Structures are given as C-alpha cells and as structure tokens.
C-alpha cells in the first residue's frame, strides 16, 4: 500500500510541484518583459542548483573535511589519513591492482570492441552478433559477479566439475587439471578483469560501430580502388578516422574502471591479492567505521578521476565524439 | 490555482494517514532462509497474541545498512547482531537502550545464566539479549563410513592426527575443510584456531588474546597456527588441498563425507551445520548417517572447555510495543520456535529439550547447558578491523603456510591500531 502511494505521489506530485513552482515564481521575475526574460532562466535553474549543491557539492566538501579528521570525525589528524593511503600494505596492493585494471580492462574493451565492430560491419548477421555482445550490459555488476562466480567454481581433479569454465576445459583439453580461478593468485586478478571486459565490451563496440559506420564510403572506396588490402584500409583509413571516438571510449572506460567495486566485492571480496581501492573505501567506512580513512580514499579517487573527466568534457565541448 | 491547491491538500492528507498507520516493529538482521522462517513463525505467534506486527528486514550487509541508518537518525526498533563486538561498538556510541528498562530483570536472571548476562553487558549495563546459540568445535563424521573403514574415534589431538595420517596413507584425505564465505571468508579457520588455542592455553589466556593483550607473534599464538597447519598445510590431510579449502563455501564442505565412496571422513564445524547437511542430503538421518564428537583435548587441564557463539539482539527504541516484544523474545516459549526451526540452541536454559527436533541437537543443547567453561567465539569479540584481518590472515595462511611469520606480523600491526578505536 505504502509503495503505491509513494509511486502516485512521485508520478503525479512531482510534475505538479514543478508546474506550481514555475507559475508561482513568475511574479519574482518582475513586470518588465526584457528583465523578466533575463531573470527567468536563473529562476528555473534555481531548484537544480539547490539540489546539485545539496547532493553533490556539499558531500564533496564534507568528505574533504572528514578526510583530515580521525575515525569518528572528532579531532583533526592533518595528513595522517593520506599518508596511510599510500603506505598501508593493503592500500598499496589495492592501488597496484587498480593499475592492472586500468591498463588491461581499457585495452581489452577497446581491442575487443573495435574488433567486433569492424568484423561485423558488413556481415548479414551483424545485428545478432551485436545484440549478443551487448546483452551483458543489461545486467548489473553484482549479477555478473554472481554468474561468473558460479562459472569459476572449482572441484578437485577427478570430481564432477560444476563450474562451467573448468568443465569445458577438462572436457576439451586433454589432461587439464581444474584450476581454482578465484583462489589461485596467478589467475584471480585476470579472471576478475575478464569479467569486467565481458560486461563492458558491448558498450565500446556499439559506440565504435557507430563511428565506423560514420566513415564516408567514398573514402573507403577510393582506398580500395587504389589497391589497398583490407588490413591496410583498417590501419590507414578506419583507425585514424575513428581515433577521436577511440579516445572518448578509452576515457569513459578509464573513469569506469577506477570505480570498480561490485565485481571484486561479490566474487572475492578482495581476498588473496585482488583488492581494489573502492573496496578498501567500503571496508574502511562500513566494516571498520573509520570515517577519516574512508574519506581520504574517496578524495584520492576523485583526484584520480578528475583529470580524465576534464579531458572528456573538453573533447565533448570541442565537438569531437 | 484553487484546483491545484486542493489536489496538494488531498495528496498530503492521504500520505499522512498512510505514514501514521505504520506501528509495526521493525527488526533488522542477517537471518535468511530457514532462520528467517523460524523467526517469522515466532513473531506470528506474538502477533496473534498481541496484535502487534513485526517486520524483519534481512541483509547480509548489516554493518553497512545499520551505519547509514544510524547516521541518518532512522534506526530500526531492534537489530539482531551477529557478534558482541558490534553490540559493544553500538553501546559505546550510546545508540542502544539499557535492557534493564525493557525487560523484567528477575525473570531474565531465572532464564539466562550469568555467562550470557555478562556477555551482553557493556560498562555495567545490559545491552544485549543473546539468542540462537551454537556450539563451535564439533567434529562431524559419517558413522557408516567410519565403521566400514574400521576407524576408532580419537579422544585427543595427537590420537586424531595419528588416525588422520593412517587414513591419508590409505589414499583418501581424512579431512574436508572449506573456509570460503564471501565477505567473511576465513571465519571457519578462525574457529579452528580458537578451539586449538583454548585447549592449549585455557580460558584466561584466551581472554587475553581476544582483548588484544597477547601479541599475535607470541609463542602461544604461533603454536596454535602451526598446530592448525598439521591439517591444512599438509596437502594429503585435507581434501582438495589449499585450493579447495579456499574456494569451497563452508556450507558445501561436509559434502565429501557423504559421497560413495567417501572422499573425506572428518569435518570440523559448529552445531548449525546440521541444517546444511540435511538440506543437501535430505535422506540422511541424524546419529545413523551423521553424528559428531567434541573437539579433542590437547592439554588435559583444559579439556572441559567449550566454545560457543550466538546472535545478540540490541534495542534502539524503547516503545511499549518493543517492550512487549522483547519480553516475549526472551521467554522460553519464543526461543522454542528458534530451537525447533533452525538447528540453533536456545540460550534460555528453561527451554525444554523436547523442542529440539532430533537427538543430535538435543545432545548439543545438553552439552551447552552443562558445560563448566563456556567461552565465546574469540574473533567475534575482537574489534571489527581485527576480526576482518584475522579472517584474511587465515585465508593467506591456507594459501601459503610458509608465510606464517609475515602474516602474524601484519596481524600485530592491525592489533596496535584497532584496539584503540
């Protein structure tokens, strides 16, 4: 009953509220029509500014302040939390893993996305392939983590393998010993990164596919007439023209990967060398109740992502995408 | 304009009445599945008697949800916490209600031993009601398989190792261990270490250990880990080796005991594993197909100690409805629902053994009621950061036992910072 009520209020009440606000703020714009035309946009933007300040600006400032305070946010500790971010062995391991994710996840999604976009470009069953590759984007990170956790299940050699990966490999590869993918320190990070790539390749592929289709056909035709092979067309025509889009997709993937949390949390909870910095922040805040440390990590993450975002926004403003 | 105003007033009125009508008691906890069903059966009986509804919100992420709701000033009425460490933390922050104001303390003292009362006390006041206990450190086995292999059940640790080595020489692994558990992976191994430590050093040193006065690098603690290593560091002793131990969820670990032919013979786990066994193998009968013996003695001085665990209920708001519910929750009648439904043991000593569904649980409940020394799960008593580091340390140890010194040194560093907070 309660939820239906809340839905009704949201669906009817919110638009009503907006209309009411717009009507009621008219008198504030004044009688002079030219002045009113100047003031009105700011009046209409006011609720947005209030909401953004309350939910985005204020928390950022509060987090920044909390990062200089201790665990209960009672006393100041200066830069001690930041020192711990860079010196605690747990954090250093997490940072190293984030770099691994940054490099291999971005490369993986770009390479596979581009490959599939190019290869499926003029094939008849293109839409089927693209749909299949894009489907993982529709599920949440948590669901993907749970699915792959089952897929990576391990049973000792000689037992019935219940994990898909081990089952397939033992059936197909002769004398293959089942691997505990999420536990073996050689395979657990690559396994997690593979799950991430599986999820996001669809996104890269869709955008790159659109970029490839935007390449004017006469350029490609001209190259063909000049005797270029498909590989040369790819290297000298497609790639340069798709360049800006590649840059955009790369930066978007980088922003995404710095925030990776769900996959690691669900599949290994950061055990055995798979921890990432967002997971550390969660643990510090919710398991150890150390607000200062968690805020320091959050601010550090923000500083890492900010340059990438600025690059993205500048490129978007310049109109290349 | 007038129509708009009228609409707003109408919406406001309807919303207001909907909010006002909600007087159900809100409980938050980690219980799900079987545990939640038993709890609901209990609260249904309460609602039938008093008309007050009780809503259980289950989440495995209790820490996160509670932290945010407390900071938002919107706590639930009650919380069922998985360990006393969380209870003490909340009591220290002043968020919990003194139970002397909620319960009839005379009835409480009749129903609960001094041990449970002490455990729930922080700074002189009672804040926690313990419910649904379990005994930790029971060694489970398949009686049919043991008989067929001609094995005699060991009474001491050295006997147990000798028996295990004989089984291993025959080609089968003697033990099945699984310590994976999502965010809490490693807690099974900490139970092993606690039982070993308790039987090597006694209850007083055990308390020093979980209160942070005993260093992890001390010889007593190191010896306990090395003793545990006799089981997990030797690849022939545990089924599947370290990879299996770290990747198998604790609920799936007894399975090798019940295969034909059995892949392992012994499994160490708390009393509640019974529910998991019967879930996976519905045809198995207690005592006939699965049974337990107590963790073997190491130092005969400390042979009669038992390690237990329990969930603890804390109260955030003292309303008349909450008072009525807590009185009911603490009573033998309510606890009998939990006893009958979950394989858990009642902390209320006046719950008749009749309610336990089978001879195994009855035996476990009897042991708990009659034990001389009952200590609580040490890792649950440690501060949350120490507890998490302990779990992680055992996972790392199973993965590479040669790293023990480095692992213990790291744990000592965490000990230095976490007990201060």
Residue B12 lies in a domain: no
- Indicate whether A321 pLDDT > 60: no
Q: Residue B131 and residue B124: Cα distance in Å, rounded?
A: 20
A80-318 carries CATH number 1.10.3720.10: yes
CATH of the domain at B154: 3.40.190.10
- What's the rounded mean pLDDT across residues A153-163? 88
- What's the rounded mean pLDDT across residues B181-192? 90
Residue B61 lies in a domain: yes
Domain count, chain B: 2
- What's the rounded mean pLDDT across residues A7-36? 84
User: Which residue ranges make up each domain of chain A?
Assistant: 2-66, 80-318
Residue of B nearest to A9 (CA): B11
- If DSSP codes are grouped into helix, strand and coil, which group holds residue B305? strand
- What's the rounded mean pLDDT across residues A34-51? 87
Q: Give B-chain residues touching A283 at CB under 8 angstroms.
A: 388
Residue A95 neighbours by CB under 8 Å, 6+ apart: A86, A277
Residue B396 lies in a domain: yes
Residue B207 neighbours by CB under 8 Å, 6+ apart: B375
Q: Residues B215, B143: one domain?
A: yes
Domain span at B345: 25-135+308-372
Residue B14 lies in a domain: no
Q: Residues B160, B302: one domain?
A: yes
Report chain B's C-alpha Rg in angstroms.
Answer: 23
Q: Residue B9 and residue A20: Cα distance in Å, rounded?
A: 14
- Indicate whether A54 pLDDT > 70: yes
User: Hey, are the CB atoms on A286 and B61 less than 8 Å from each other?
Assistant: yes
Report in angstroms the alpha-carbon separations of A184 from A19, A143, B5, B241, B242: 59, 23, 65, 12, 10
Give the confidence band of B56 by pLDDT, cuts at 50, 70, 90. very high
User: Hey, are the CB atoms on A286 and B241 less than 8 Å from each other?
Assistant: no
Q: Residues B210, B297: one domain?
A: yes
Report in angstroms the alpha-carbon separations of B311 from A118, A319, B29, B250: 58, 59, 10, 18
Q: Residue A55 and residue B11: Cα distance in Å, rounded?
A: 26
Q: Residues B287, B386: one domain?
A: yes
Residue B355 lies in a domain: yes
Give the confidence band of B405 by pLDDT, cuts at 50, 70, 90. very high
Measured between CB atoms, does A80 come within 8 Å of chain B? Answer: no
Q: Residues B287, B403: one domain?
A: yes
Residue B289 lies in a domain: yes
Shortest Cα–Cα distance, A287 to chain B (Å): 6
Q: Give A-chain residues touching B22 at CB under 8 angstroms.
A: 2
Residue B17 lies in a domain: no
Bridge-based pairing state of the strands B291-294 and B266-269: unpaired
Bigger pLDDT: B174 or A29?
Answer: B174
Residue B410 lies in a domain: yes
The residue from B356, B372, B388 where one domain ends is B372
- If DSSP codes are grouped into helix, strand and coil, which group holds residue B212? coil
Q: What is the largest CA-CA distance in chain B?
A: 90
Provide the token pair at B337: 């629902």
Give the confidence band of B84 by pLDDT, cuts at 50, 70, 90. confident
User: Hey, are the CB atoms on B22 and A2 less than 8 Å from each other?
Assistant: yes
Q: How far apart are the first and last CA of chain A?
A: 46
- % of chain A exceeding 90 in pLDDT: 50
Q: Residues B116, B157: one domain?
A: no
Residue A120 neighbours by CB under 8 Å, 6+ apart: A126, A129, A130, A209
- Indicate whether B8 pLDDT > 70: no
The residue of B23, B173, B180, B247 whose CB has the most chain A CBs within 10 angstroms, and thus the best one to mutate to test that interface, is B247
Length of chain B: 421
Lowest mean pLDDT among B111-115, B124-128, B188-192: B111-115
Residue of B nearest to A89 (CA): B410
- Indicate whether A44 pLDDT > 60: yes
């Amino acid at each position: 009953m309660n939820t239906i009520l809340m839905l009704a209020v949201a669906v009817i009440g919110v638009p009503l509220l907006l209309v009411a606000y717009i009507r009621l703020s008219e008198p504030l714009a004044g009688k002079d029509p030219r002045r009113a035309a100047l003031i009105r946009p700011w009046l209409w933007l006011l609720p947005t500014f209030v909401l953004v300040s309350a939910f985005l600006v204020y928390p950022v400032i509060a987090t920044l302040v909390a990062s200089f305070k201790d665990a209960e946010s009672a006393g100041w500790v200066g830069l001690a939390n930041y020192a711990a971010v860079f010196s605690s062995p747990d954090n250093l391991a997490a940072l190293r893993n984030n770099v691994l994710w940054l490099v291999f996840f971005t490369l993986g999604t770009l390479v596979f996305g581009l490959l599939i976009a190019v290869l499926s470009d003029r094939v008849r069953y293109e839409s089927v392939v693209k749909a299949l590759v894009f489907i993982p984007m529709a599920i949440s990170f948590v669901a993907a983590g749970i699915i792959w956790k089952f897929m990576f299940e391990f049973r000792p050699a000689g037992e019935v393998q219940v994990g898909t990966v081990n089952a397939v490999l033992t059936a197909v590869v002769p004398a293959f010993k089942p691997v505990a993918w999420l536990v073996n320190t050689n395979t657990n990070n690559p396994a997690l990164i593979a799950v991430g790539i599986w999820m996001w390749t669809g996104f890269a592929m869709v955008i790159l596919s659109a970029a490839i289709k935007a390449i004017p056909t006469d350029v490609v035709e001209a190259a063909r007439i000049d005797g270029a092979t498909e590989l040369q067309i790819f290297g000298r025509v497609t790639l340069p023209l798709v360049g800006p889009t590649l840059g955009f997709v790369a930066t978007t993937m980088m922003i995404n990967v710095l925030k990776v949390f769900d996959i690691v949390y669900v599949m290994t909870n950061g055990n055995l060398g798979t921890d990432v910095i967002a997971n550390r922040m969660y643990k510090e805040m919710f398991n150890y109740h150390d607000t200062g440390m968690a805020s320091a990590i959050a601010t550090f993450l923000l500083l890492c992502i900010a340059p990438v975002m600025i690059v993205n926004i500048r490129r978007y403003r310049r109109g290349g995408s | 304009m007038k129509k708009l105003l009228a609409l707003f007033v109408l919406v406001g009125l309807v919303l207001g009445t909907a909010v006002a009508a909600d007087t159900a008691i809100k409980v938050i906890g980690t219980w799900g599945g079987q545990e939640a069903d038993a709890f609901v059966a209990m609260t249904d009986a309460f609602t039938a008697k008093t008309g007050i509804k009780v809503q259980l919100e289950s989440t495995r992420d209790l820490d996160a949800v509670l932290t945010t709701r407390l900071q938002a000033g919107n706590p639930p009425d009650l919380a069922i916490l998985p360990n006393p460490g969380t209870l003490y933390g909340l009591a220290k922050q002043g968020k919990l209600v003194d139970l002397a104001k909620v319960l009839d303390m005379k009835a409480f003292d009749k129903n609960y031993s001094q041990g449970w009362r002490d455990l729930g006390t922080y700074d002189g006041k009672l804040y926690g009601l313990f419910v649904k206990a379990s005994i930790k450190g029971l060694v489970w086995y398949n009686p049919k398989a043991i008989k067929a292999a001609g094995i005699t059940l060991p009474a001491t640790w050295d006997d147990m190792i000798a028996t295990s080595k004989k089984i291993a020489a025959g080609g089968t692994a003697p033990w099945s261990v699984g310590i994976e558990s999502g965010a809490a992976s490693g807690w099974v191994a900490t139970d092993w270490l606690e039982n070993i430590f308790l039987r090597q050093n006694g209850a007083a040193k055990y308390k020093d250990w979980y209160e942070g006065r005993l260093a992890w690098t001390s010889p007593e603690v190191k010896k306990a880990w090395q003793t545990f290593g006799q089981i997990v560091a030797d690849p022939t002793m545990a089924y599947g080796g370290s990879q299996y131990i770290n990747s198998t969820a604790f609920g799936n670990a007894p399975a090798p005991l019940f295969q034909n032919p059995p892949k392992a013979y012994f499994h160490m786990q708390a009393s509640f594993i019974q529910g998991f066994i019967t879930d996976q193998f519905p045809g198995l009968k207690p005592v006939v197909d699965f049974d337990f013996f107590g963790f073997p003695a190491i130092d005969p001085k400390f042979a009669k100690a038992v390690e237990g665990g329990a969930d603890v209920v804390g109260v955030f708001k003292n309303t008349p409805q909450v008072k009525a519910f807590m009185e009911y929750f603490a009573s033998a009648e309510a606890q009998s629902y939990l006893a009958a439904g979950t394989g858990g043991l009642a902390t209320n000593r006046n719950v008749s053994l009749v309610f336990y569904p089978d001879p195994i649980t009855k035996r476990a409940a009897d042991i708990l009621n009659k034990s001389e020394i009952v200590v609580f799960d040490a890792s649950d008593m440690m501060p949350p950061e120490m507890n998490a580091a302990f779990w992680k340390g055992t996972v790392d140890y199973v993965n590479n036992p040669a790293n023990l010194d480095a692992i213990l040194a790291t744990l000592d560093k965490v000990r230095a910072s976490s007990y201060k907070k």
